[in-house]
Structure 1
Amino acid sequence: MNLHVSQNLSQRQSMVMTAQLQQAICLLQLSNLDLRAYLESEAEENPFVDVAGGETAQHRDLGLPMSRGAASDFDYISDRAEAPAPSLYTHVSGQFDVMFTNPRDRMVAEQFLEALEPNGWLGEPLEAIAMRCVMSSEEAEEMLHLVQQVEPAGLFARSLAECLAIQAEDRGLMTPLFAALLENLPKLAAADLAGLCRVCKCTMDELKDCLKSLRSLNPKPGADFDHGELTQREPDLIVTRGDDGWRVDLNRSTLPSVKVDETKAQDVRRDRSAGEYVGERLSVARWLRRAVEHRNHTTLSVGAEIVRRQAEFLEHGPSRIEPMTLKDVAEAIGVHESTVSRITTGMLIVTPQGTFSLKNFFTTALSTDGEGAASSASVRHRIQQLVRDEDPKKPLSDDALAQIISDEGTHLARRTVAKYRDMLKIPSSFQRKRQAKLASS
């Protein structure tokens, strides 16, 4: 066997994902508020980076007259505003303070309170609470009965039937017929009124009176309480109508910018021992400023191209949204599809039709009898309209919906209608008919 060692030289090209390139890609998919948080974290580590702009909506100048010292003046509106309603937790906790004077019982009641769901139901098995409180099953059942005495009636129920039963007992509605109805809620959900009459041993008129009382109860007694404000962040892009058509702008009220403190860098550079550190940090600061400017320019380009293609939507609403793909926008502005995908992830745009995610505008095309193509979004909107305007007693089936839309010029299969209906969370025609029957009973 002949063994020998040799060396070979070769050249090849490859792309290396540098740290700066990874940061630049990360910046593309940040919203204005996320971008500000990222820049502020960078400014904490880099003494030459200053973050400017990006005030929140509360500090935006709305053009309203304000006198000197207005910040310290008496705020009549704020003074007149009602105090926020107590949360479900605060409401129940206040009742527990009065109900349970024994520290041990109050501690156990607190465990039940922690398991209370926002809708008012008990969100944890009773056995788990008993184990955590070192209680027997009988003691846990007794404590559950006590905490279920709080107002409003129905809190701490473990099921729909129990929730309704607690309220019925509280209102004096519990009769043998009502109890039998609660035991057969699945038949009620199936709108089997004739079957309910048989198992409850009552007439249809008696059943309808009982159903009227049942509808007066609240299946989610905790939902009426304040669970905190649902805040929606400011949009990243704003669409307005100009003299020459639609225009899109960056939301400057939330858009931060990077400023490089060159003066501070010059002062620190006088210390020769800090020269290398200053050069490296100053280079990072300048790169970060360029990266943010590039991110803003690319975001504006993507937004402008989307607005240009969706002019009909801006004029007439969701029924006129045009089919559009990531590739269409990428080719139009000269970037890669992945760049468009990253920018449109999480970005919000405010239009005359409302505030939308940029992702909502990318829909597939469906073939039509005409020269153009219909977008899947416009077809889904049309399905919503047809279902909203249908006769509740004779709801449109998926076949009927497909036939109507196909007659209007857009070729649509029944299975496509079913898929879109599921996306819109619209029940089937059978379920809609059953719901209408229950509502009219």
Structure 2
Amino acid sequence: MPPRHSLVLRPTQSLAMTARLQQAIKLLQFSQSELEAFVDAELVDNPLLERAQDLSDAGEAGDRLEAVQTLPTEQASQQPPDWSDWDEYRNEEPWSPQDRAAPATAGVESDWSLEHLPQPDVGLREHLLEQLRLERLSQRESTLAAALIDALDPDGYLRAELPELAADLGCAPADLEALVPRLQELEPSGVFARSLQECFALQLARLDRLDPAMQTLLDNLPLLAEGRWSRLQSLCGVDVDDLNEMVSELRRLDAAPGHAFAAPSPETLIPEVLVTRDATGIWQASLNPEGRIQVRVDASAYRQLVRRCRTAGDRNYLSERYQAARWLERSLQQRGDTLLRVANALVGTQQDFFEQGASGLRPLTRRELAEKLTLHESTVSRAIANKHLACPRGTFALSYFFTTAIAGAEGDAHAAESIRQRIRSLIEGESPEAILSDEALVALLKQDGIEIARRTVAKYREAMNIPTSRQRRRQARLAG
């Protein structure tokens, strides 16, 4: 029987992620600095947008906002904008990148020059590739060397498995092995090391200080970490003064030579949420007016410009700019409302933390908070991403207050973070004569109603960079 074709209408439901919806989602998870940069770009691009102060906040909040934010002169002026040159502006060609980069004093004699412009930071990869051009390498060797540079970790170490990398590049592992010593001669000293010992050895060799005693010390760095100085003196064949001098030399070396090229620029941290106690003694959350970013649509300017439009293209452009400005205004308001809802629910759940500290943290997951607020879990995750909270106990990331639950001896639950802080306080309170082992910590925690395994205690202790009881006992003997 031949196939038959027919048209059938079937109703279906689907969620379409429009461009504005996608931008609204990104807006929610932006950090303070990212949001500031995004809004600044929109203010430059859209002539109908301007910054707005939160007129609903009065008194102290208004004073704080005025202290940290000074509006530009043209925005602070109460005079209505002058759009008399709209016809000329409309007919002008868009600015070119060269126009934007031109100095404001163009045509005026000054000592301005390109040398006065801030130079971009050079990354580790660019720094090494620049040196690679001066090396006498064949084209194939240069290609393999560039691949090795790309395989470096941010700290400058080469931790990639060379056989696997060679298979990807279609060469023999010996070809890469032969290149590594030549690349280790590049700056910074210690780059392309495969271990901490090799990194120190490369730097000491550059300083002509890699003698047999120092090499022996590098081969036995675990003994140095454990504080076994007498054993090191015996292995290196030096006295205590020489060993002290050798250790001092190691401390002057750079354990991560690549970090000098990957250090991020410092960023001012402005918490978006403030937590204070109200008159009834309950801790409440509020948005920080000093960090809140708001914009408003200049409707009067829009009406003036629409009346001056002569073509449909001009009217369409203004309509698009007006709708984009309205969307950004609403999205920023919705972002603040969502963040405040999440922060209030979080603070309401963690009241004991603000009274007692980390020991008062309650187990809380993003899903639990999302169900409480009738939000999607992903919305809660985006709302707390890159956000911070300031309270009398300090400044904390919002994600700090979400921690898993560990069952207690009597059926109650304890937050993992509070258990970690309890372990830290027990170790900090131990005496040099009675160092607590992991088994002893398990017993002490059990007395507090917390039953966890010894391996869990060891995992938490290692995560807090606390040495083992054996290492702490040696350190106590050396200090005493």
| TM bucket, shorter chain | 0.5 to 0.7
- 5+ long unaligned stretches in structure 1: 63-106, 109-120, 133-143, 145-156
Say which SS state the counterpart of residue 389 (structure 2) adopts. strand
Superposed CA deviations along residues 91-145 of structure 1, whole A, max 9, x for unmatched, are: xxxxxxxxxxxxxxxx99xxxxxxxxxxxx998987337579xxxxxxxxxxx9x
User: Kindly tell me: are residues 343 and 8 of structure 1, through their superposed partners in 2, closer, same or farther at Cα, counting changes over 3 Å?
Assistant: same
RMSD: 4.0
Q: What's 1:81 paired with?
A: none
Say which SS state the counterpart of residue 251 (structure 2) adopts. coil
Matches within 5 A, 1:8-87: 8-53=8-53, 61=67
User: Kindly tell me: are residues 44 and 425 of structure 1, through their superposed partners in 2, closer, same or farther at Cα, counting changes over 3 Å?
Assistant: same
Deviation at residue 45 of structure 1 after TM alignment: 2.5
Deviation at residue 230 of structure 1 after TM alignment: 4.7
Q: What's 2:301 paired with?
A: 264
Q: What's 1:369 paired with?
A: 409
CA distance in structure 2 between the aligned counterparts of 1:195 and 1:287, rounded to whole angstroms: 70
User: Kindly tell me: are residues 188 and 346 of structure 1, through their superposed partners in 2, closer, same or farther at Cα, counting changes over 3 Å?
Assistant: closer
Superposed CA deviations along residues 208-255 of structure 1, whole A, max 9, x for unmatched, are: 4555555665613679xx999855411111112221322222111121
Q: What's 2:175 paired with?
A: none
Q: TM-score of the superposition, structure 1-length normalised?
A: 0.67
Q: Percent identity?
A: 35
CA distance in structure 1 between the aligned counterparts of 2:454 and 2:243, rounded to whole angstroms: 36
CA distance in structure 2 between the aligned counterparts of 1:35 and 1:305, rounded to whole angstroms: 23
User: Kindly tell me: are residues 46 and 131 of structure 1, through their superposed partners in 2, closer, same or farther at Cα, counting changes over 3 Å?
Assistant: closer
Superposed CA deviations along residues 31-72 of structure 1, whole A, max 9, x for unmatched, are: 2332221122122222212134599x998628xxxxxxxxxx
User: Kindly tell me: are residues 308 and 190 of structure 1, through their superposed partners in 2, closer, same or farther at Cα, counting changes over 3 Å?
Assistant: closer
Matches within 5 A, 1:410-421: 410-421=450-461
Say which SS state the counterpart of residue 67 (structure 2) adopts. coil
Say which SS state the counterpart of residue 415 (structure 1) adopts. helix
Deviation at residue 398 of structure 1 after TM alignment: 2.2
- 5+ long unaligned stretches in structure 2: 55-60, 69-133, 136-154, 159-179, 190-196
Superposed CA deviations along residues 281-308 of structure 1, whole A, max 9, x for unmatched, are: 2122112111111110110111111111
Q: What's 1:403 paired with?
A: 443
Q: Answer yes or no: is 1:324 the counterpart of 2:379.
A: no
Contact kept? 2:223, 2:229, Cα under 8 Å? yes
User: Kindly tell me: are residues 158 and 60 of structure 1, through their superposed partners in 2, closer, same or farther at Cα, counting changes over 3 Å?
Assistant: farther
Q: Which amino acid aligns with 2:251?
A: P
Q: Answer yes or no: is 1:220 the counterpart of 2:252.
A: yes
Q: Which amino acid aligns with 1:220?
A: R
How many residues are matched?
Answer: 350
User: Kindly tell me: are residues 198 and 30 of structure 1, through their superposed partners in 2, closer, same or farther at Cα, counting changes over 3 Å?
Assistant: closer
User: Kindly tell me: are residues 177 and 324 of structure 1, through their superposed partners in 2, closer, same or farther at Cα, counting changes over 3 Å?
Assistant: closer
Q: TM-score of the superposition, structure 2-length normalised?
A: 0.62
Matches within 5 A, 1:17-166: 17-53=17-53, 61=67, 127-128=182-183, 160=200
CA distance in structure 1 between the aligned counterparts of 2:34 and 2:274, rounded to whole angstroms: 18
Q: Which amino acid aligns with 1:250?
A: L
Match of residue 240, structure 1, among 254, 276, 299? 276
Say which SS state the counterpart of residue 277 (structure 2) adopts. strand
Contact kept? 1:383, 1:401, Cα under 8 Å? yes
Deviation at residue 332 of structure 1 after TM alignment: 2.4
CA distance in structure 2 between the aligned counterparts of 1:177 and 1:32, rounded to whole angstroms: 52
Contact kept? 2:200, 2:253, Cα under 8 Å? no
User: Kindly tell me: are residues 277 and 181 of structure 1, through their superposed partners in 2, closer, same or farther at Cα, counting changes over 3 Å?
Assistant: closer
Contact kept? 1:325, 1:364, Cα under 8 Å? yes
Deviation at residue 384 of structure 1 after TM alignment: 0.9
Q: What's 1:280 paired with?
A: 320
